Amino acid sequence: MRRVVCPGSFDPVTNGHLDIIGRASSLYDEVYVAIGFNRAKPSGLFTIDERIEMLHEVTEQYKNVKVEAFEGLLVNFCKERGIPAIIKGLRAVTDFDYELQMAQMNYGLTEVETLFVATNPLYSFLSSSLIKEVATYGGDVSGLVPETVLRRLTERLAQG
Ligand code: PNS
């Protein structure tokens, strides 16, 4: 069984994340979408349960995708589940420095590999933070996030 993990904060999941998850799903037997969180410092617009729910909804068509949250080191999550590789989307060179550091640290810790996938250029400018910022000020983010995320985002921001 070839397994890979696609980690992130997913606050919320965007079409850019979904593109990477879908591509990972066609390359691997099993894809774990792993939401990193820190109980001591809860942060974000959506709770972890809401992020899990949204990810379940938007990955429903991929039968080999599992969604889980994790606390602590990603390499421990991998070790406990027998996952030898991490998959990450690279949007631009600005992502590269930090991603390279994490990949090297993770490999140094447990020899887990990191594979980088070039983001679809349609989504190369996309990030969850930018989506939240634009939506907060009334900008149109439809087409950049899945329908269910757009609905929840609109509802959450309307609550103030
Ligand atoms: O979507 P993000 O915010 O870029 O996701 C970052 C995430 C959750 C993938 C990263 O912060 C992470 O792997 N956190 C888990 C803690 C960990 O293993 N830290 C050491 C990384 S070398």
Domains of the chain from N-terminus onward: 3-125 (3.40.50.620)
Indicate which residue of 25, 51, 88, 91 is catalytic: 91
User: Strand locations in the chain, DSSP E?
Assistant: 3-8, 30-37, 65-71, 85-90, 113-118
For the Cβ of 14 lying below 6 angstroms from any atom of ligand 1, the answer is: no
Check if 17 is active-site.
yes
For the Cβ of 122 lying below 6 angstroms from any atom of ligand 1, the answer is: no
Phi, psi of 14 (to 5 degrees): -115, 175
Rg (CA), the chain: 15
Order across the sheet with 65-71: list the strands: 65-71, 30-37, 3-8, 85-90, 113-118
- Model pLDDT for residues 72-87, shown as the tens digit of each residue: 999 999 999 999 999 9
CA of 123 to the centre of ligand 1 (A): 21
Phi, psi of 58 (to 5 degrees): -85, -10
Indicate which residue of 25, 51, 128, 132 is catalytic: 128
Please state, as a whole number, how many other Cβ atoms lie within 10 Å of the Cβ of residue 138. Answer: 7
- Model pLDDT for residues 90-121, shown as the tens digit of each residue: 999 989 999 999 999 999 999 999 999 999 99
- Tokens representing 40? 């001591």
pLDDT by residue for the chain (160 residues), tens only, comes to 999 999 999 999 999 999 999 999 999 999 999 999 998 887 899 999 999 999 999 999 999 999 999 999 999 999 999 999 999 999 999 899 999 999 999 999 999 999 999 999 999 999 999 999 999 999 999 999 999 999 999 999 998 7
